[in-house]
């Protein structure tokens, strides 16, 4: 006799496993729906343009100088705030005003994010809204850094100081994908699934997104300078 998915010949362990997997799948469906319906960028407001030189090209700053440049009350965006806006642009859900912000993201230089990455003991430490990060020749000194929040993710063998595709990140540290790109891998647009990746430093340093047509990457490689764009909390994007 069969009642739905329950079969009399299944062991208690098999039934408990199927029940747990079913509950996890339902929780994931609800979580994914919430991520899609309430993308992080809707809780903030972006500067419409990255800061420009007099010639109207994006200006380049070290991380600390970009922090100094930001208007009072502003900060750099976090990765999920930027990528959630990009995703809604790819899926046709942005207003004309926000579509212009997305298009400006993709112009010329990559832009700073408000985060420092530090791998340590098999974990990736993500320090949000870091300050007192000092530029030194070809690197950054984070030894006196202060920050607002810390998130940690297992590296599970992800290599350092090399490009890693988002598919490889998803196979080893799936929660890191959701943290950076704002959705689980399977719910991301194919454009990002096929073209995104990251570059993890081997020591603490600030990171940015994109550079001259490389639009979906999250990385610290050769990122001593970046363009500067601020966001303010509370003034919402719709």
Residue 66 in this model has a pLDDT that exceeds 60: yes
* CA–CA gap between residue 38 and residue 9 (Å, rounded): 43
Rounded average pLDDT over 162-176: 96
* Average pLDDT, rounded, for the chain: 89
Percent of the chain with pLDDT over 70: 86
192-237 pLDDT, tens digit each: 999 999 999 999 999 999 888 889 998 865 678 999 999 999 865 5
pLDDT band for position 21 (cuts 50, 70, 90): low
What stretches of 111-213 show up as alpha helix (H) in DSSP?
166-172, 174-181, 190-195
pLDDT band for position 238 (cuts 50, 70, 90): very low
What SS3 state is found at 185? helix
pLDDT of residue 104: 96
Strand arrangement, sheet containing 123-128: 149-154, 123-128, 111-120, 205-211, 214-219, 197-199, 163-165
Which residue from 59, 41, 45, 48 is spatially nearest to 228, judged by alpha carbons? Answer: 59
What stretches of the chain show up as alpha helix (H) in DSSP?
12-37, 63-69, 79-90, 96-105, 166-172, 174-181, 190-195
Q: Which two tokens stand for residue 237?
A: 């994007």
Domain boundaries of the chain, sorted by first residue? 12-233
Residue 31 in this model has a pLDDT that exceeds 90: no
Query: Residue for token digits 């010639």?
Result: 55
pLDDT of residue 1: 46
Rounded average pLDDT over 130-146: 96
């Amino acid at each position: 006799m069969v009642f739905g998915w329950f079969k009399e010949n299944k062991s208690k362990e098999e039934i408990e496993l199927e029940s747990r997997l079913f509950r996890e799948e339902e929780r994931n469906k609800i979580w994914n729906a919430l991520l899609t319906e309430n993308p992080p960028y809707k809780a903030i407001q972006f500067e419409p343009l990255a800061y420009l030189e007099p010639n109207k090209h994006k200006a380049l700053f070290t991380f600390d100088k970009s922090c100094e440049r930001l208007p009072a009350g502003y900060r750099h965006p976090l990765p999920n705030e930027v990528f959630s806006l990009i995703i809604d642009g790819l899926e046709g859900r942005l207003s004309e005003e926000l579509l212009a912000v997305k298009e400006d993201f993709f112009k010329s230089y990559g832009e700073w994010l408000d985060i420092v990455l530090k791998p340590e003991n098999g974990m990736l430490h993500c320090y949000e809204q870091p300050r007192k990060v000092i530029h030194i020749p070809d690197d950054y000194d984070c030894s006196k850094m202060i920050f607002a929040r810390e998130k940690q993710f297992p590296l599970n063998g992800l290599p350092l100081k090399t490009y890693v595709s988002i598919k490889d990140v998803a196979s080893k540290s799936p929660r890191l994908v959701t943290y950076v790109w704002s959705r689980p891998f399977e719910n991301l647009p194919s454009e990002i699934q096929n073209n995104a990746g990251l570059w993890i430093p081997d020591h603490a340093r600030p990171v940015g997104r994109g550079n001259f047509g490389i639009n979906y990457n999250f990385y610290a490689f050769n990122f001593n300078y970046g363009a500067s764009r601020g966001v303010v909390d509370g003034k919402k994007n719709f």
